[in-house]
Amino acid sequence: MNVQIIRFAFTLFFVAFSFIGCGQTAVNENSTNKLQESWEQSLKGSFSEQVELTFDSLEIEEFFKIYPQIDKVKIDVGTFYRTRAYAYAWFENGLPIEQAGNLYNRIINLEEEGIYQTIPYRKELDSLFYAVDKYQKKPNILLELMLTAQYFAFSKLSWDGMDKAVSESLKWHLPRKKVNYEYYLDSLLKYKDLDAKEPVYRQYALLKDYLKKYKALEQLNNWNTIQTSGTLIQGDTSNIVTDVKKRFYLLGDYKGDTTAVFDEELYQAVESFQKRNGLSIDGKIGPETIRTLNIPLKSRIRQIIVNMERNRWLPISTYQDVLAVNIPDFKLHVFHADTLLWNCNVVVGQTSHPTTLFYGEVKYVVFRPYWNIPESIVRNEILPHIRKKPNYISTHDMEITGYRNGLPIVRQKPGANNSLGLVKFLFPNSYNTYLHDTPAKSLFGETSRAFSHGCIRVEQPVKLANFLLRNDASWTAEKINSAMKSGNQKYVTLKDKVPVFIAYFTAFVGQDKKLNFRKDIYDLDERLADMILDDSGKAKD
């Protein structure tokens, strides 16, 4: 597979995003290459390019003796200044440059990044920053080194997020991104003409904007509970309609009047709200819609913060083809070269059999597959049926091929009644998880689609098979259709493996730039929220 590490990946994630992320060229690929896209507006300015004014390298050692609580970034600071021959980065003519103030503002406003940790030496940074004399001729070495150290500390919090052990403890088994902070900062200093965009997935910045909006709504302190006992439809008149209109106005779903009449404009707003909250879309103000409208802003803010953190973990790579499943959204998204081609509904694991969050690479398309039934299903489901009905195996197109661990080895024969349907898509993994067709088509019409034992059922398997085999001239649409409808099990090895990301986002911004929320079906949000909102960044006792 042609993997290009050029722009941010995970333009792929999950919501039919048309936004392309930003990233960096690989270190040492081409020393003259600028970063492809760069850092956020708030750090724009003219970095110091002066090289004459330098300091002794021993100053770094002395700095970290004075401020030992930030010595985790000591190596980064040392590497950065060695590449600059120990020239000052944040001063010109004895005074701090524009970026120094901009970086300072980012650091002291960490909550805007969804980060609730206390930075080390905040008071000392304040003192150093405000002690600058506009008439001074020499730069303050402590402020210089403090800004650089805080840059690395801030960047790791904002770009990398919490430790890998945290994400793994929360069942996130996808690859984590890696950033070369020294290279990135050095490049920004060198190429001051760049429009800067920081190395986090595009969704991070979009959620950050909504975090600011929802915090402002919370400050209004007028999020009263909307009371209703029935269902309102278009044409109804009720004081509840006025309350709903006001709520929708605050949320950005509605821009009309606040009369008590349920008019067409409100109907459209209800549908929009239901769609972006993953509800059944019927245009009615019913109990589920009201319950969702009444979710406290504090809860929504926590949800946004949690998903900002998950976005920090996403890797910086772009792929030729990518499949991406967002479990809470019950959707599969198919991308080519950062462009969304199509998406479809999926069925994911039940809460008692959750689908694992991980990365894989589709290697095989299997037509008319056997279903090799897992031991747990044989033990808990097949055996009880056999005890009740001795002919259960034959009547369900199954066969016993042997015995292992005191259990029969059972598989279901290929055919229209096979639980995997007529095709499956294998990406070898230790979780025994794959994508597949299903004869139970009606489940795709459900709003919440957590019904499987962990594998992922695909609503449009024929379309997916055609996509994966489109570059193989020997597999035409007619041949694919024939292979699914007749014959024995057939494995087809893909010429190029296709990445598959199975992840978990309960808040995201869609193509229409609207904020979407989904239910936390596996109860993964709250624990992470508690860890983020604790000052130490660790789980509470």
List, by residue number, the catalytic residues: 436, 455
Q: Reduced to 3 states, what is the DSSP secondary structure of residue 523? A: coil
Length of the chain: 541
Tokens, residue 438: 């299903």
If phi > 0 it is left, if psi is from -120 to 50 it is alpha, else beta; for residue 405 that is left
Q: Is the dihedral of CA 110, 111, 116, 121 positive or negative?
A: positive
Q: Reduced to 3 states, what is the DSSP secondary structure of residue 527? A: helix
Cβ atoms 460, 344 nearer than 8 A: yes
Residue type at 49?
Answer: E
Tell me, letter by letter, the H, E, C secondary structure of 346-375: EEEECCCCCCCEEEEEEEEEEECCCEECCH
Q: At 343, phi and psi to the nearest 5? A: -145, 165
Quote the crossing angle between the two packed helices 122-130 and 141-155, to the nearest 10°: 140
H helix intervals, 344-474: 375-377, 383-388, 392-395, 461-468
CA dist., res. 126 & res. 147, Å (int): 11
Which positions ≥6 away from 438 have C-beta within 8 Å?
347, 419, 420, 421, 457, 458
Question: In the block, which residue shows the tokens 């770009």?
Answer: 159
449 to 175, 275, 346, 349, 443: CA distances (angstroms): 26, 15, 7, 8, 7
Residue type at 132?
Answer: V
